[in-house]
């Protein structure tokens, strides 16, 4: 496998790096990384120990003291060079992401493209870390706000986006003057090691200090806990399940740290009777089976008006029948594997539960066996007729299950159903009726962080602020003004008069 060599992945890799050097003891246990594509061992990683962690965080903090003094556009120049390096390594890195995580090669390459795009975005941002100038109510006073670098940013990422989500955080944090400490998912550590090696080339070429970009690889319960409890890390961005995010949020809040929470979704598409089904059907299929249903923005619920319900149902079954399931590195296949056998069990279990609650499986639901499916991670995406109030429908099962839910009457009824879950990440409506679309986007409409009209729930652009409401956690990262969260804000007032006018007109005779 040439791409592994090109990216500096060895048979056994150390699990901690300060950017320039891989450090690490070999007594913290080993993670063997198997590909869900063919079940083969790709490589192994020594897990970072407590001692490794201490070494890494120390360097990250020291680097921050330097990096915060570098002018922001110069910080942007480093990020520009990272973008160039990622262009150079796009093919091997995209291939590794696909082989390690199981998403299609096109999606693997797309993930690296997102990294490149956020680099470009962050370069521009480095000249636009604007504060406001406000009008002071006092004579000869100037008042403005400014943004200062925050510190070491901890970035904990989920398995399903092995590299892109890190870059959404890290590239913005870097131009903001912060240093980064990454804990990738221990299900996909090799893609993270490859990124770290790429960063090393830029660090070396620019004579940058150790600690600007650091990484620790290990279990959530060990190194993950270290990060969330560490007072030296003022901000943790955590992408993962609601359960893990809730725990992390509590721990971080207890020490008055900041957190950006990017947690699970239970995303719905509404199809009204005035929808253009030529747009809606492919959007639903892509949203429900893309990345084998393992995107946070995957379409999990489809809320369809009764007048077009049968037509939508039949079109979907027809489309699902034509899906090719197999090795994601082969472009002809549409659906790849789930991340591991535990995910397959959750898929099977969810289908059992929905049947017990009264749901009807209309298509799919089988685990594939035999040639090409040796890893045991391939399933046939399922379409299930269900009710929104079923317990299992209320949960996020991280697998390709699409629940079909019928609604009657006004679009308000569909919006009510869509909002009636605890998660609030992505949502969409398909309609050619302006009133329905505006109702969906209004204050009484979708309660999600992302609300789309005539495009599906999955596949957000980096230019927008990404994140969701309610149990999805309320965090925002990537574009728009998400950068503000990675900096500390300060209001400054300067008196250039010869008097000292006190606030609220208070007079103080001395
Ligand atoms: P997960 O919650 O199992 O793990 C996420 C990360 O948290 C991993 O790096 C894990 O090691 C770490 N972790 C686990 N326990 C920890 C602890 N006690 N302290 C600190 N860190 C800990 O999630 P996963 O299975 O990797 O990913 C799937 C989930 O992520 C889904 O729920 C999905 O919706 C969500 N997700 C959300 C977004 C978003 O932007 N909202 C994006 C991608 C994935």
Mean pLDDT of the residues in the chain: 97
- Closest among 79, 99, 70 to 3, alpha carbons compared: 99
Express each pLDDT in 414-429 by its tens digit.
Answer: 999 999 999 999 999 9
Express each pLDDT in 91-127 by its tens digit.
Answer: 999 999 999 999 999 999 999 999 999 999 999 999 9
> How far is the centre of ligand 1, averaged over its atoms, from the C-alpha of 404 (Å)?
27
> How far is the centre of ligand 1, averaged over its atoms, from the C-alpha of 244 (Å)?
6
Express each pLDDT in 353-406 by its tens digit.
Answer: 999 999 999 999 999 999 999 999 999 999 999 999 999 999 999 999 999 999
Residue 59 and residue 51 in contact, taking contact as beta carbons nearer than 8 Å? no
What value does the mean pLDDT take over residues 452-465? Answer: 95
Please tell me the total number of residues recorded for the chain in this structure: 510
Nearest protein CA to atom 37 of ligand 1, as residue: 263
> How far is the centre of ligand 1, averaged over its atoms, from the C-alpha of 100 (Å)?
17
| φ and ψ of 186, to 5 deg | -75, 0
Predicted confidence (pLDDT) at residue 508 exceeds the cutoff of 90: no
Catalytic residue annotation = 262, 296
pLDDT-derived band at 309 (thresholds 50, 70, 90) equals very high
Express each pLDDT in 141-176 by its tens digit.
Answer: 999 999 999 999 999 999 999 999 999 999 999 999
> How far is the centre of ligand 1, averaged over its atoms, from the C-alpha of 410 (Å)?
37
Q: Can you give the pLDDT at residue 30?
A: 96
Ligand 1 atom at minimal distance to the Cα of residue 477: 40
CATH top-level class of 2-263+473-490:
alpha beta
| φ and ψ of 261, to 5 deg | -105, 120
Nearest protein CA to atom 43 of ligand 1, as residue: 296
CATH classification code of 267-461: 3.40.309.10
Q: Which of 155, 158, 184, 295 to mutate to test the pocket of ligand 1 (most atoms within 8 A of CB)?
A: 158
Task: Report the percent of the chain where pLDDT is more than 70.
Answer: 100
> How far is the centre of ligand 1, averaged over its atoms, from the C-alpha of 262 (Å)?
8
What value does the mean pLDDT take over residues 463-490? Answer: 97
Ligand 1 atom at minimal distance to the Cα of residue 224: 20
> How far is the centre of ligand 1, averaged over its atoms, from the C-alpha of 347 (Å)?
18
pLDDT-derived band at 504 (thresholds 50, 70, 90) equals confident
SS3 371: coil
Q: Which of 163, 166, 241, 470 to mutate to test the pocket of ligand 1 (most atoms within 8 A of CB)?
A: 241
Ligand 1 atom at minimal distance to the Cα of residue 247: 18
Pocket of ligand 1 (CB under 6 A): 156-161, 183, 185-186, 220-221, 224-225, 228, 239-241, 244, 247-248, 262-265, 296, 396, 398, 425, 468, 472
Q: Can you give the pLDDT at residue 13?
A: 97
Express each pLDDT in 230-246 by its tens digit.
Answer: 999 999 999 999 999 99
Q: How far is 449 from 474, CA to CA, in rounded Å?
A: 8
What value does the mean pLDDT take over residues 194-214? Answer: 97
Predicted confidence (pLDDT) at residue 25 exceeds the cutoff of 90: no
Distances (CA, A) of 163 to 116, 359, 426: 11, 37, 21
Q: Can you give the pLDDT at residue 505?
A: 78
pLDDT-derived band at 506 (thresholds 50, 70, 90) equals confident
Q: Can you give the pLDDT at residue 184?
A: 98
Nearest protein CA to atom 8 of ligand 1, as residue: 185
Q: What are the residues whose beta carbons fall under 8 Å from the beta carbon of 296, sequence distance 6 or more? A: 158, 160, 239, 262, 263, 264, 265, 425, 426
b/e string for 23-47 if b means 16 or more Cβ within 10 A? bbeeebeebebbbbbbeeebbbbbb
Predicted confidence (pLDDT) at residue 446 exceeds the cutoff of 90: yes
Q: Can you give the pLDDT at residue 510?
A: 74
Predicted confidence (pLDDT) at residue 470 exceeds the cutoff of 90: yes
User: Minimum mean pLDDT among 59-63, 220-224, 238-242, 446-450: which range?
Assistant: 220-224
Nearest protein CA to atom 30 of ligand 1, as residue: 240
Express each pLDDT in 236-280 by its tens digit.
Answer: 999 999 999 999 999 999 999 999 999 999 999 999 999 999 999
- Each domain of the chain, given as residue ranges in start order, spans 2-263+473-490, 267-461
User: Sheet holding 30-34: strands in order across?
Assistant: 12-13, 41-46, 30-34
- Closest among 240, 269, 260, 262 to 451, alpha carbons compared: 269
Task: Report the percent of the chain where pLDDT is more than 90.
Answer: 96
Nearest protein CA to atom 16 of ligand 1, as residue: 220
Nearest protein CA to atom 40 of ligand 1, as residue: 262
Q: Can you give the pLDDT at residue 20?
A: 87
Q: Can you give the pLDDT at residue 226?
A: 97
> How far is the centre of ligand 1, averaged over its atoms, from the C-alpha of 371 (Å)?
32
Nearest protein CA to atom 20 of ligand 1, as residue: 224
Ligand 1 atom at minimal distance to the Cα of residue 468: 41
Express each pLDDT in 57-100 by its tens digit.
Answer: 999 999 999 999 999 999 999 999 999 999 999 999 999 999 99
């Amino acid at each position: 496998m040439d791409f592994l060599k090109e990216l500096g992945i060895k048979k056994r890799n150390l699990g901690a790096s300060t950017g320039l050097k891989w450090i690490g003891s070999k007594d913290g246990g080993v993670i063997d990384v198997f590909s869900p594509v063919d079940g083969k061992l790709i490589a192994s990683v020594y897990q970072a120990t407590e001692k490794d962690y201490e070494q890494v965080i120390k360097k990250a903090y020291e680097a921050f003291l330097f990096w915060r003094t570098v002018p922001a556009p110069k910080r942007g120049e480093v990020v520009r060079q990272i973008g160039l390096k990622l262009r150079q390594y796009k093919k091997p890195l995209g291939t590794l992401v696909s082989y390690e995580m199981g998403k299609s090669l096109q999606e693997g390459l797309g993930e690296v493209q997102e990294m490149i795009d956020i680099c470009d975005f962050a370069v521009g941002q480095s000249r636009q870390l604007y504060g406001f100038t406000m009008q002071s109510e006092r004579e000869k006073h100037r008042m403005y706000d400014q943004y200062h670098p925050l510190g070491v940013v901890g970035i904990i990422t989920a398995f399903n986006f092995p590299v892109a989500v890190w870059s959404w955080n890290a590239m913005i944090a870097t131009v903001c003057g912060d240093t980064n400490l990454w804990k990738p998912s221990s299900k996909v550590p090799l893609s993270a090691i490859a990124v770290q090696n790429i960063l090393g080339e830029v660090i070396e070429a620019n004579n940058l200090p150790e600690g600007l970009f650091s990484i620790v690889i290990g279990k959530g319960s060990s190194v993950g806990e270290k990060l969330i409890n560490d007072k030296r890390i003022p901000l943790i961005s955590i992408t993962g399940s609601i359960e893990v995010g809730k725990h992390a949020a509590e721990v971080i809040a207890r020490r008055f740290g900041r957190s950006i929470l990017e947690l699970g979704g239970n995303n719905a598409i509404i199809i009204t009777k005035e929808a253009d089904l030529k747009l809606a059907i492919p959007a639903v299929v892509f949203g429900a089976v893309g990345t084998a249903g393992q995107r946070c923005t995957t379409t999990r619920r489809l809320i369809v008006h009764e007048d077009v319900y049968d037509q939508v149902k039949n079109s979907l079954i027809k489309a699902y029948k034509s899906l090719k399931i197999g090795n994601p590195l082969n472009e002809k296949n549409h659906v790849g594997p789930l991340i591991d056998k535990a995910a397959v069990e959750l898929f099977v279990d969810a289908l059992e539960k929905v049947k017990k609650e009264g749901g009807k499986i209309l298509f799919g639901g089988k685990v594939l066996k035999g040639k090409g499916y040796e890893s045991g991670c391939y399933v046939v995406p399922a379409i299930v007729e269900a009710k929104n109030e079923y317990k299992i429908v209320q949960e996020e099962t991280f697998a390709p299950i699409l629940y079909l839910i019928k609604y009657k009457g006004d679009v308000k009824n569909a919006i009510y159903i869509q909002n009636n879950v605890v998660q609030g990440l992505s949502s969409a409506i398909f309609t050619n009726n302006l009133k329905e679309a505006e109702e969906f986007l209004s204050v009484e409409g979708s309660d999600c962080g992302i609300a789309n009209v005539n495009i599906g729930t999955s596949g957000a652009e980096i230019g927008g602020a990404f994140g969701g409401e309610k149990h999805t956690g309320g965090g925002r990262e990537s574009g728009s003004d998400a950068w503000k969260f990675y900096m500390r804000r300060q209001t400054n007032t300067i008196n250039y008069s010869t008097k000292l006018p006190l606030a609220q007109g208070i007079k103080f005779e001395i």
